[in-house]
Amino acid sequence: MQTESADTLGAFGAARWPAPAKINRFLHITGRRSDGRHNIQTLFQFLGWGDELSFRVRRDGAIARYGDTEAIPTDDDLVVRAAQALRAATGAPYGVDIAVHKRIPMGSGLGGGSSDAATTLIALNTLWNCRLDATTLARIGLGLGADVPVFIHGHASWAEGVGEQLTSVAPDEPWILLALPGCAVSTAQAFAADALERDTAPVTMADFAAGRCRNVFEPVARALAPAVSETLDALAQAAAEAQADARPQLSGSGSACFLCLADRATARAAQRRMPAALPTLVTRAQNSSPLHVASLGPIGR
């Protein structure tokens, strides 16, 4: 990590490691597997905004976490589980203090927990001198969650299977007006909803480029969380008032919603037309993860 200036230092006087949010540019379900899980197609892209983590290596083997996730039981905390999984896989004799500065809301469909876990694996791979490559780290990460591998690999990806079959792609990198309704949408409830479309025909990148893809969770999220429905409608109205040709979208199974816009000025113009009480931010979609941009050298070196 780059540590040239004091601005890069977080808790413990240690370097901040970014854990960026992701968006799903679309999300389809193409069928159900024999184990009950769903096959999906989606396109993951990173945002230039997210959580930040700091790490301090311990010699006593203890793994402790601090910061904005202390309300989460330790055994359920993905950053703790990631550290434990890496140590189990490598036999590293160290422990670590982990401080988490949360910005990504839980239940928002922006991948906050998965991103935090991936950042933990990548950071400790360096700090504990484990020297694992990205493929091995992604395999460990998959045991923590289906979205963790895309954060490990750090490239915008076309994903299939349960989300673990990744192909690097380079779609457009629009400016994003992100809206956070302040509610959580349960992924389990969303997947269990009777109204969820589970037999979408397979699509290709050409279909995505032609605008023939969507998020099948949108009607489900609207029904489960009225705030999501209100936010999507507010984004549509803001886009129209800003004369932007953009359709509001849902990320993951919700609750975060966004517009893809051509430039920062248009994104700011649309943001000014959003309800003042609704948290929004303007950022950019990125094909390279901010974590990988900030890291020094390839994983495992």
Interval 91-115: pLDDT, tens = 999 999 999 999 999 999 999 999 9
Domains annotated for the chain, with CATH where assigned, are: 6-169+288-294 (3.30.230.10), 175-286 (3.30.70.890)
Q: Classify residue 101 as exposed, middle or buried by CB count within 10 Å of its CB (0-12, 13-18, 19+).
A: middle
Residue 102 a catalytic site member: no
Residue 233 a catalytic site member: no
pLDDT tens digit string along 244-271? 999 999 999 999 999 999 999 999 999 9
Per the structure block, which two tokens stand in for 121?
């694996």
Q: Are 78 and 113 in contact (CB under 8 A)?
A: yes
Query: Catalytic: which of 22, 51, 77, 116?
Result: 22
Per the structure block, which two tokens stand in for 119?
């950042």
Query: Catalytic: which of 35, 77, 147, 172?
Result: 147
- In this prediction, residue 5 has a pLDDT band, given cuts at 50, 70 and 90, of very low
Question: Percentage of residues in the chain with pLDDT exceeding 70?
Answer: 94
pTM, 2 dp:
0.93
Q: How far apart are CA 51 and CA 108, in angstroms?
A: 13
Q: Is the peptide bond between 108 and the residue preceding it cis, with omega within 30 degrees of 0?
A: no
pLDDT tens digit string along 60-86? 999 999 987 667 788 789 999 999 999
Q: Classify residue 277 as exposed, middle or buried by CB count within 10 Å of its CB (0-12, 13-18, 19+).
A: exposed
Q: Is the peptide bond between 251 and the residue preceding it cis, with omega within 30 degrees of 0?
A: no
